[in-house]
Amino acid sequence: MPRYLRILIAIPLLVILLPILLLVVGVWLLYRVVCLLYGLLLNVVVWICWCARGRYVLLVYSESPHWHDYIEEHIITRLPRSTAILNWSQRRSWNSGTLPVQLFSHFAGDREFNPIVIVFVPLRWAKTFRFWQPFRDHKHGKSQPLEDESRRLFSYLSQHSIGDASLQRPQ
Side-chain half-sphere CA neighbours of 10 within 13 A:
7
What does pLDDT average to over the chain?
92
Residues composing the chain? 171
At 96, is the secondary structure helix, strand, or coil? coil
pLDDT in tens, 26-44: 999 999 999 999 999 999 9
Type of residue numbered 154: F
Burial classification of residue 62, based on how many CB atoms lie within 10 Å of its CB (0-12 exposed, 13-18 middle, 19 or more buried): middle
**Closest by Cα among 96, 95, 103 to 51:** 103
Q: What is the pTM of this model?
A: 0.84
Contact between 137 and 149 (Cβ < 8 Å):
no
**Closest by Cα among 88, 112, 15, 5 to 100:** 88
The pLDDT, as a whole number, for residue 170 is 43
**Closest by Cα among 147, 118, 142, 144 to 130:** 118
Cα angle at 165 between 159 and 169, to 5 degrees? 115
User: Which ranges of 50-77 would DSSP assign to H, the alpha helix?
Assistant: 68-70
Percent of the chain with pLDDT over 70: 95
* 160 confidence band (pLDDT: 50, 70, 90): very high
Question: In whole angstroms, how far apart are CA 73 and each of 27, 67, 77, 112, 171?
Answer: 46, 10, 6, 21, 9
Least confident of 2-6, 66-70, 99-103: 2-6
Domain ranges across the chain: 1-171
